[in-house]
Every structure is written in structure tokens, then in C-alpha cells.
Amino acid sequence: MMLKLLTIEQLIIPAAIILASLLVGIFLRNVVLAYFLKLTKRTKWRFDDIVVEVLRRSVVFWALALGLYVLIETQGLPRYAADISSKALGVFVIFSVTVVASNIGTEMIEYYKTVITGLSSATSLLKNIVRITVYSIGILIILDDLRISIVPLLTALGVGGLAIGLGLQGTLSNFFSGLQILAAKQIQVGDYVKVSSGEEGYVEDLNWRATAIRSLAGNHVIIPNANLANLIITNYQLPMPDVGIGLEVGVDYRSDLQKVERVTVEVATEIQKTVPGAMRDYEPSIRFSRFGESAIYFSVNLRVATFVDQYLIKHEFIKRLKERYDKENISIPFPIRTVYMNKEAD
């Protein structure tokens, strides 16, 4: 009877400890931290919100870990079993804290990419750096907790790192070039860029290895960061997204240039006011530039909201200008060449 009673106690007490720790964890998550989350929502600082939200995901596990620790220390386990259990529990707790720290770091990057100019272009790169750094520190702490000397490990990592660095020279070059591009803040996701090698399009991603550019045809162009850092880049979004465009037009030498200027400006103004993508408040102008072989040439200056809007603007302007010139009897001459024959040479 005494043996049976002892067995029941051995089952009930651990179950009670685990249940109590679970209830404490649920109480901390659903009551205490939920209350703190309401308080942090009232502040303008986002860091406290992120910390509380991440802690809510792990507090139940930590409460259970505390219950297991109490269970190990109070149930009279053999010393070697208690030591192994405590070490294993400590490793899991340290690892969970590492995961929490990594999540806080990545959540902060995800938030600040919306408020810091240029950060969104390298979000994935920064997240990977944070994860690698935090998990490396966590592993070193775990090894130290297990009484494993990390000095030989660090020495081996130093030698191995040198060998790996030589073998991954191209990869590391891309990685640090990506950091350089990020720090310069001259390219952001969504910018329309053109590189000196000929590729152009919208920047879609800047990761640890390469930059992805989506061309107007919808194709992805992947440029290694090391190559991109050595190219000349034209960013049509900086310092402002609107772009001035100039179209060259030629009219017949017999044309009334005052009339040509007036009609052309009227058409250009109509384009600026009506066509999507044109800057509504911009006043277009023309400037006569040169005498050609068969025409007097001038440039028409328009302005569009973004670089790619110019294609529709040019399309509509050429159509409407040709139609208006036909009505006004303004001639756009074909290229001609006058040839003089010297009859005396015969």
C-alpha cells in the first residue's frame, strides 16, 4: 500500500508542477504581457511593441522550462541524470533566447525599412547578417555553458575562415559590394536605373549576392553586386522622379517660325495637361537649335512624372503634332539634297 501511494505521488507532483508552470506561462502571455502590449501601443517608439510581441511567443516555453528545472531539482534524481537534464534544459533555453533576439532584430529591420530611406532595398541582406551574427553568438554561449573550450574552435575557425575566404573570394566580394551599395543609399527597390553595360529596368531586390532588375519587357536581369559596384549607374528616381525630355523636330525653310513656335507650344501644352504621366504644372517650350540640310531643327521640352512615362508622351505628341501641322500647312520636309551639274566640264 505504501509502495502504491509513493508511485501516485511521483506521478501527481511532477504533473502538478508542469501544469502550474503552464498556467503561469499562459497567464503571463494573455494577461501580463497583453497589458504591457496595450501600454506600448500608446507610445510612438516601435521597439517596445516588437519586444513585447516577440516575448509573448516564447513566455509559455520559458515558464515550462522553469517548471522542468524545479522538477529536476526537487524530485531527487540521480546526480548524473540531474546534471545532464539541467545542461540540456540550459541549452534549449539559451537557444530560445537566441531565437528571440534574432526575431527582434529582423522585426526591427522590417519596421525601419518603411521609415529609413534606402533600407528597403537591402532588407534581405540585413536580415541575413543579423541572423548569422546572433546565432553565432548563441552557439558560442552554448559551447561555453557546456564547458567546451572555444579557443581552439576560434583558432580552427580562423584558419578555416582564411581557406574558405580564398575559396569564396567571389561570393565575399559580392557580399561586401552589396554592403557598399546599401551604405551609399543611391539605389533603392523600385528605382528605375540604367547601367553602363546596357541593362535597364526597375530594381526589384538587393540581396547578399546580386541585384535583380526587372526590364520593361518583364524579364529579370541578375547582376552580381561586385560587377554592379564597378559600373556607371544612372538612377532616374534621384534626386527626383520627374524627368525632362526633349524631342527634335524639323520644319521647312519656308515656314513662319513664329507660327511654328506658337502651334508647337499649343500642342505640347495640351499634351502636358491631358496625357497621363505628364507633369500638369509644367510649361513646355521650344528652342531652335540648328540649320539642317533640308530643315530648320528645334527641340521641344516636355516633362514627365517618371522615366517610363516618356514613351506614351512621345507617342501622343508626335501624333497630335503631325495632325496639327497638316491643318496649319506647316511642312516637315523629307531629307533632300541639291546637286549642281557643271556642264562646262563636258
CATH number for the domain harbouring residue 219: 2.30.30.60
Same domain, 157 and 274: no
Q: Do 62 and 28 touch, CB atoms closer than 8 A?
A: no
pLDDT number for residue 297: 92
Average pLDDT over residues 48-52: 76
State phi, psi for 334 to the nearest 5 degrees: -75, 155
pLDDT number for residue 32: 80
Whether residue 4 is predicted with pLDDT greater than 70 in this model: the reply is: no
Looking at residue 170, its amino acid is: G
Same domain, 157 and 20: yes
Same domain, 82 and 222: no
Instruction: Tell whether 207 is covered by a domain.
Output: yes
- What total of structural domains would you count in the chain? 3
Same domain, 290 and 142: no
**For the chain, what percent of residues have pLDDT higher than 90?**
12
Q: Which run of H or E residues covers position 120?
A: none
Same domain, 218 and 289: no
Same domain, 139 and 49: yes
Same domain, 158 and 197: no
Q: Looking up cell 501544469, which residue turns up?
A: 19
Instruction: Tell whether 174 is covered by a domain.
Output: no
Instruction: Tell whether 2 is covered by a domain.
Output: no
Structural domain including 265 reads: 243-328
pLDDT tens per residue, range 87-146? 777 778 888 888 888 888 887 777 766 655 445 555 666 777 788 888 888 887 877 777
Q: Looking up cell 575557425, which residue turns up?
A: 157
In which band, very low, low, confident or very high, does the pLDDT at 267 lie, cut at 50, 70 and 90? very high
Sheet holding 200-206, edge to edge: 220-224, 210-214, 200-206, 192-195, 233-235
Same domain, 52 and 184: no
Give the residue among 17, 1, 128, 115 at the shortest CA–CA distance from 63: 17
Same domain, 37 and 135: yes
Same domain, 116 and 35: yes
In which band, very low, low, confident or very high, does the pLDDT at 159 lie, cut at 50, 70 and 90? low
Cβ contacts of 335-341, under 8 Å, gap ≥ 24: 335/293, 335/294, 336/293, 336/294, 337/293, 337/294
pLDDT tens per residue, range 231-255? 888 888 778 888 888 899 999 888 8
* pTM greater than the 0.85 cutoff: no
Same domain, 217 and 268: no
Instruction: Tell whether 344 is covered by a domain.
Output: no
pLDDT number for residue 259: 92
Whether residue 16 is predicted with pLDDT greater than 80 in this model: the reply is: no
User: Which of 77-86, 162-171, 219-228 has the least mean pLDDT?
Assistant: 162-171
State phi, psi for 59 to the nearest 5 degrees: -65, -35
Most confident of 162-171, 260-269, 326-335: 260-269
Same domain, 101 and 156: yes
Query: Which CATH number is 321's domain given?
Result: 3.30.70.100
